[in-house]
């Protein structure tokens, strides 16, 4: 089974450029009004044509779903995000209770995106601070094997 997430977009070229520039995604298939990236994200222009749902029923800023990315170098991502002043932030960077920093914003078609520092980076930050695996598990509200798995993941 293959899993993808499809976003309806108004301008396929603008949306493609946004995701390529900000997230460095690689196009795996380009069929004109439908583009697939190798990560599983699909962009579809003319969603009304594809589904039969009238354009007037297409909604913006539904805020009940988001696409999520993690990055090892969160600070570099935040700097890259500043080069896109047109981006509509839901909120600035904030630290979640488990210690992960995240930011949420809307893409050009008003789909909600969350970018967070990788969970491995969070666990490594705690290791560097001298915390034990048990202390990290408590801080992150996970089990010790979960922390061990985070720490063993490839970058």
Q: pLDDT, tens digit, for every residue of 81-129? A: 999 988 999 999 999 999 999 999 999 999 999 999 999 999 999 999 9
Burial 100-113 (b: 16+ CB within 10 A, else e): bbbbbbbbbbebbb
pLDDT score of 22: 95
Residue 125 confidence (pLDDT): 96
Q: Encode pLDDT of 50-72 as tens digits.
A: 899 998 888 888 888 899 999 99
Q: Rounded to two decimals, what is the model's pTM? A: 0.88
What's the token pair of residue 11? 């301008």
Give the tokens for residue 99: 């210690």
Among the listed ranges 12-21, 80-89, 130-139, which one has the minimum average pLDDT value? 80-89
pLDDT for residue 110: 94
CATH number for domain 1-58, candidates 2.40.30.110, 3.10.180.10, 3.40.50.720, 2.60.120.460 = 3.10.180.10
Residue with token string 């570099």: 76
Please compute Rg for the chain using Cα positions. Answer: 18
From CA 136, how far away is CA 153, in angstroms rounded? 16
Taking residue 33's Cβ as centre, other Cβ atoms within 10 Å add up to 14
pLDDT score recorded for residue 97 = 96
> CB of 148 within 8 A of CB of 126?
no
CA contacts within 13 A on the Cβ side of 110: 8
Tokens of residue 88, six digits:
């509509």
E-only strand ranges, 2-155 = 5-9, 27-30, 34-37, 41-45, 66-71, 88-95, 101-106, 112-117
Q: Which residues pair with 106 in a beta bridge?
A: 88, 112
Q: In the prediction, which pLDDT does 50 show?
A: 87
């Amino acid at each position: 089974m293959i899993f993808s997430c499809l976003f309806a977009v108004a301008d396929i070229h603008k949306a493609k450029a946004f995701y390529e520039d900000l997230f460095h995604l690689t196009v795996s298939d380009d069929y004109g009004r439908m583009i697939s990236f190798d990560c599983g994200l699909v962009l579809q222009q003319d969603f009304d044509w594809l589904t039969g749902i009238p354009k007037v029923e297409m909604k913006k800023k539904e805020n009940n779903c988001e696409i999520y990315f993690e990055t090892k170098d969160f600070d570099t991502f935040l700097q890259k995000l500043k080069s896109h002043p047109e981006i509509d932030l839901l909120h600035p960077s904030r630290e979640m209770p488990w210690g992960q920093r995240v930011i949420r914003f809307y893409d050009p078609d008003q789909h909600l995106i969350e970018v967070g520092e990788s969970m491995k980076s969070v666990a490594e930050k705690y290791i560097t601070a001298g915390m034990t695996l048990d202390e990290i598990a408590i801080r992150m509200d996970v089990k010790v094997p979960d922390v061990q798995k985070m720490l063993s993941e490839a970058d």
